[in-house]
Amino acid sequence: MSDTKRSAVRLFGLSLLLVFGGGLLAWLVQTDFGAVAVRDIRFQDANGATLSALLYIPDGASADHRVPAVLAVHGYINSRETQSPYAIELARRGYAVLNLDQRGHGYSDPPAFAAGFGGPAGLRYLRSLEFVDTDQIALIGHSMGGWTVLSAAAAMPDAYRSVIVSGSSTGTFGVPAGDTHFPRNFGLVFGQFDEFAPTMWGARAGSEVGATDRLQQQFGTQEPVQPGQLYGNLDTGTARKLYQPRQTHPANHITRGGVAPVIDWVQTTTAAPRPLAPDDQIWFLKEFGTLLSLAGGMVFLIAFSRLLAGLTLFRPLHYVPPAAVADRGTGWWSAVLLLIAIPALTYFPLQGAADALPANAWFGQNLTSGVMVWALGNAAISAVLLAVWLFQSGVGVNARGFSQLGLTWPAGTRVRNFTLTLLLAVATVAGLYLVLAVDHFLFTADMRFWVVALKLMNAIQFHEFLVYLLPFTLFFLVSGSVLHGRMRTGNAATDTPRMLATNSLLMGGGIALLLAWQYATLFVTGALAIPSQALLTIVALQFVVLLPLTAVLSSYFFQLTGRVYAGAFVNALLITWLIVAGQATHYAY
């Protein structure tokens, strides 16, 4: 065995160790080391729509020993797994927890927003379980998940004991506002830097929600609501409490300070079988486990593709990259500034333009369509700039120019090499998908950190994956040509760390700067620089990780094959899969 192959085998083994070791850790934590059963379930609502959930069942729960229960629901464009910190902590305290996928999210049938977001059906199912004490049910939800559980409470006003929502509000989508008797025993977690303060409560900043007339009316007071103070009465169902941790909206379900208030309110309002202090938390170990799995998955892509590339079938793809012609002069640095500025400047406008493309049978995910329009717009701008550069450099938009960009092979090999490259990319990503399927089967876990997640796709999501795949492929072909044709210098071609750092900066630097501006303004003033773009600002957080990752993969496959196609295909397959599996589906298929 050659040293190259031996190295690839070792890397492959390391990747599997990370994936399954992380999955095992995640399983141990979410089951409280065997004291809680976690089941991946499906059930139907009254109209026959299928809903998905993770059901946490504490040891000893039975028809003869009923336990208190919690319906937990995630926010918009998230899925049931993002609520796992709450579920893990409440399950280890003896609660049965139903972690629901909202309608049109995760594995629940579309469309999003339908039938009370799936909340009433989720509460009915929870109450139907023989081991649930139906007199001791709490409802918890983050962001739009708050509206989901409030919809359940409105539909079934006598079916729960208390509600606590994080980064959410009342008075939305048919839910009463300002009623001191609805919802029963209401807790609110609202971060002092919550991006949605104007949307949720009409406040300029999260720290100011207690002074709004709307929240004061909800709490039955004419004075500013004081965080940590108990209002009303638990026995009459009029209890109210505001928690205001120093954090942002998406931090609610990924920080100890966001999870603790929910534990506190649920234990205060319902009978905890095994009460623990709110700050006694272990959920972050599960998050670390799925992060290990995600890291292992990315290592797997490198190791598995290297093993595949060593097969006789794929050896014709080993080409030397075309010689770099760029140097780090004024023109190169001007290009750097453009490549960093354009994605940031176009991020909000182009995604806003996608509003003209309503959900349909082809493009059924509104936010994915927005990302697609943004990607295609950036690809078009980059293609024009590439053409200008080719003309100015004297190369021209011709066969020589395409060769310089890493887009062509020698005559007579093009069809074969294109086909083999596509096969290599598909086999590589399919291998990762299989590993994820095994990880999920063994440990009921996915590969994720926070909202950056690789999940298995259902049939509808696979359809969306195929539809969105071509536009994202075009984007990565153009971006690969820019990185390895226009921006590659002689030094970078032989200095891998420098090349990876440069390409990662070029791909992700603009979005990082945009977010730095938005959040620096938020932390100084209490409001985002552009408050109307709170949702897309939060969506952009994942791109700070994903775009540099695609730069690394693009660079690796360019060095492996000497052309941009393998990296573009792998990135398109990976990112399209990641986005569509984690987004909301708005079209009613």
- 333: which 2 tokens? 């640095």
588's CB contacts (< 8 A; 6+ apart) are 110, 111, 114
- Are 214 and 178 a contacting pair, CB within 8 Å? yes
Q: Which of 26, 27, 95 is nearest to 58 (CA)?
A: 95
| Domain match, 346 and 260 both | no
Q: How far is CA 173 from the centre of its chain?
A: 24
- 476: which 2 tokens? 């990565």
Q: How far apart are CA 158 and CA 425, in angstroms?
A: 54
| Domain match, 158 and 74 both | yes
213's CB contacts (< 8 A; 6+ apart) are none
Strands (E), 441-588: 447-449, 452-454
Give the domain range for residue 98. 31-279
| Domain match, 238 and 353 both | no
- 78: which 2 tokens? 């998230």
| Domain match, 378 and 261 both | no
| H/E stretch holding 387 | helix 366-392
The reported pTM is 0.95
DSSP assignment, residue 62?
A: B
For 12, other C-beta atoms within 10 Å of its C-beta total 18
- Are 132 and 96 a contacting pair, CB within 8 Å? yes
- Count structural domains, the chain: 2
Q: How far apart are CA 305 and CA 245, in angstroms?
A: 45
Residue 298 lies in a domain: yes
pLDDT of residue 491: 54
Give the up-direction half-sphere exposure of residue 476: CA atoms within 13 A in the CB hemisphere. 32
Of 220, 255, 279, which residue sits at a domain end?
279
- Are 233 and 219 a contacting pair, CB within 8 Å? no
- Are 45 and 52 a contacting pair, CB within 8 Å? no
| Domain match, 257 and 316 both | no
pLDDT of residue 331: 86
pLDDT of residue 1: 65
Residue 22 lies in a domain: no
Q: Are strands 240-243 and 230-231 parallel, antiparallel or unpaired?
A: antiparallel
Q: Which of 156, 483, 474, 232 is nearest to 335 (CA)?
A: 483
Counted residue by residue, the chain has a size of 589
pLDDT of residue 553: 97
* pLDDT per residue of the chain (589 residues) written in tens, 0 to 9: 677 788 989 999 999 999 999 999 999 999 999 999 999 999 999 999 999 999 999 999 999 999 999 999 999 999 999 999 999 999 999 999 999 999 999 999 999 999 999 999 999 999 999 999 999 999 999 999 999 999 999 999 999 999 999 999 997 765 666 666 899 999 999 999 999 999 999 999 999 999 999 999 999 999 999 999 999 999 999 999 999 999 999 999 999 999 999 999 999 999 999 999 999 999 999 999 999 999 999 999 999 999 999 999 999 999 888 887 767 788 889 999 999 999 999 999 999 998 888 899 999 999 999 999 999 999 999 999 988 888 887 777 777 778 878 888 888 788 999 999 999 999 999 999 999 999 999 999 999 998 899 999 999 999 999 999 999 999 999 999 999 988 888 754 457 788 889 999 999 999 999 999 999 999 999 999 999 999 999 999 999 999 999 999 999 999 999 999 999 999 999 999 999 999 999 999 9
pLDDT of residue 178: 64
Residue 10 lies in a domain: no
Burial (Cβ within 10 Å: 0-12, 13-18, ≥19) of residue 279 = exposed
- 291: which 2 tokens? 């992060």
| H/E stretch holding 372 | helix 366-392
Coil, strand, or helix at residue 39?
strand
| Domain match, 292 and 204 both | no
Residue 204 lies in a domain: yes
- Are 175 and 154 a contacting pair, CB within 8 Å? yes
- Are 415 and 569 a contacting pair, CB within 8 Å? no
Coil, strand, or helix at residue 91?
helix
DSSP assignment, residue 276?
A: -
| Rounded alpha-carbon distances, angstroms, from residue 328 to 322, 341, 483, 500 | 18, 18, 13, 16
| Domain match, 239 and 339 both | no
Of 233, 249, 279, which residue sits at a domain end?
279
The residue written with tokens 């994915």 in the block is: 368
| Domain match, 434 and 569 both | yes
| Domain match, 333 and 363 both | yes
Residue 461 lies in a domain: yes
- Are 94 and 68 a contacting pair, CB within 8 Å? yes
CA torsion sign, 163 to 164 to 165 to 171?
positive
DSSP assignment, residue 489?
A: B
Q: State the CATH number of the domain containing residue 135.
A: 3.40.50.1820
Q: Which of 280, 284, 243, 194 is nearest to 523 (CA)?
A: 194
| Rounded alpha-carbon distances, angstroms, from residue 266 to 72, 272, 322, 372, 473 | 11, 8, 62, 41, 47
Q: Are strands 36-44 and 50-58 parallel, antiparallel or unpaired?
A: antiparallel
Q: In degrees to the nearest 10, what's the CA dihedral of 340, 342, 344, 346?
A: -170
Residue 349 lies in a domain: yes
Amino acid at 23: G
The residue written with tokens 């399927």 in the block is: 437
Residue 331 lies in a domain: yes
Residue 20 lies in a domain: no
For 384, other C-beta atoms within 10 Å of its C-beta total 10
For 34, other C-beta atoms within 10 Å of its C-beta total 9
Q: How far apart are CA 89 and CA 95, in angstroms?
A: 9
The counts of H helices and E strands in the chain are 18, 11
| Domain match, 107 and 200 both | yes
Q: In degrees to the nearest 10, what's the CA dihedral of 452, 455, 458, 463?
A: 50
| Domain match, 290 and 262 both | no
Q: Which of 120, 252, 124, 98 is nearest to 174 (CA)?
A: 120
Region for residue 150 given its phi and psi (left: phi exceeds 0; alpha: psi -120 to 50; beta: otherwise): alpha
The angle, 0 to 180 degrees and rounded to 10, between the axes of the packed helices 84-91 and 283-309 is 130
Buried-state track 198-228, b at ≥16 Cβ within 10 A, e below 16 = bbbbebebbbbbbebebbbbbbebeeebebe
Q: How far apart are CA 530 and CA 115, in angstroms?
A: 32
Of 259, 279, 299, which residue sits at a domain end?
279
Burial (Cβ within 10 Å: 0-12, 13-18, ≥19) of residue 48 = exposed
Taking 3-state DSSP, the helix, strand and coil percentages for the chain, each rounded to the nearest 5, stand at 55, 10, 30
Q: How far is CA 237 from the centre of its chain?
A: 36
| Domain match, 209 and 320 both | no
